Amino acid sequence: MAPEITRNGNYSAASDVFAFGVLLLEMVSGRTPTEEDSVSFFIADWVMELHGSDDILGAVDPRLGSGYDGEEARVALAVGLLCCHQAPVSRPSMRMVIRYLNGDEHVPEIEDSQ
């Protein structure tokens, strides 16, 4: 759930973008957004940590083995992180998300502070 919803109950298009980002991260990693046995685990934080250590592909579901395109996985994970930005105004529009995923636009660099 987008942070602004839990803080003040405000739903917006940016909240939907956040949810889509979480879904992308789930699909690529094969993990759930949170874990029952860990109060502190959130999928976007985990992927961001891997990104910060230059190992974003470490988030790819190991059950895929080598049966995936690394660049497509990298793009999907990066777009998922952009969508999960803490600040709603910093999240891309869904129009831009589609352009990124289709390869029509270059995915911007991700700041470690997200």
Give me the CATH number covering residue 25.
Answer: 1.10.510.10
Q: With bands split at pLDDT 50, 70 and 90, how would you rate the model's confidence at 2?
A: confident
Statement: residue 43 has pLDDT above 90: yes
pLDDT in tens, 44-77: 999 999 999 999 999 999 999 999 999 999 999 9
Residues 18/92, Cβ–Cβ less than 8 Å: no
Query: Which residues constitute the domain of residue 21?
Result: 3-102
11 in a domain, yes or no? yes
Q: What is the pTM (predicted TM-score) of this model?
A: 0.90
Question: Tokens 């793009």, residue?
Answer: 75
Assess if residue 113 is contained within a domain: no
Q: How far apart (Å, rounded) are the C-alpha atoms in residues 42 and 34? A: 5
**Residues 26 and 33: beta-carbon distance below 8 Å:** yes
Q: Provide the domain count of the chain.
A: 1
**79, two tokens:** 């777009």
Classify residue 63: in a domain, yes or no. yes
Torsion angle of alpha carbons 35, 37, 66, 57, nearest 10°?
Answer: 60
Query: Is 44 a domain residue?
Result: yes
